[in-house]
Homo-oligomer: A and B are copies of this chain.
Amino acid sequence: MSALARMNGDAEEWGSAETGADKEISKIAANATVKRLSSGETLYVEGDRAPYCFQIVSGAMKEYNTLEDGRRQVADFYGPGDLFGISETDHQLHTAEAITDCVVRVYPRDTFLRIVAGSQELSQHLLDTFMTRLHRARDRIVMLGRMGALQRVATFLRRVARDQSHSEACTLVMSRQDMADHLGLTIETVCRSLTELKKRGAVSMESARVFTILDMHRLEEIAAGAE
Contact = CB atoms under 8 A, between A and B. Distances in A.
Contacts of A127: 123, 126-127, 130
A71 B123 CA distance: 37
Interface of A is mostly: helix
Interface residues of A, number: 41
Nearest to A63: B138
Contact of A123 (B69, B123, B145): B123
Interface string A94-132: 100000000000000000000001101001101110111
A142 B68 contact: no
A58 to B, nearest CB: 25
Interface of A: 65, 67-69, 71-73, 75, 86-89, 93-94, 117-118, 120, 123-124, 126-128, 130-135, 137-138, 140-142, 144-146, 181, 183-184, 224-225
Given A73-B142, A75-B142, 14 more contacts: A65-B138, A65-B142, A72-B146, A75-B138, A88-B128, A88-B132, A123-B123, A123-B124, A130-B130, A137-B138, A141-B144, A144-B144, A144-B145, A146-B184
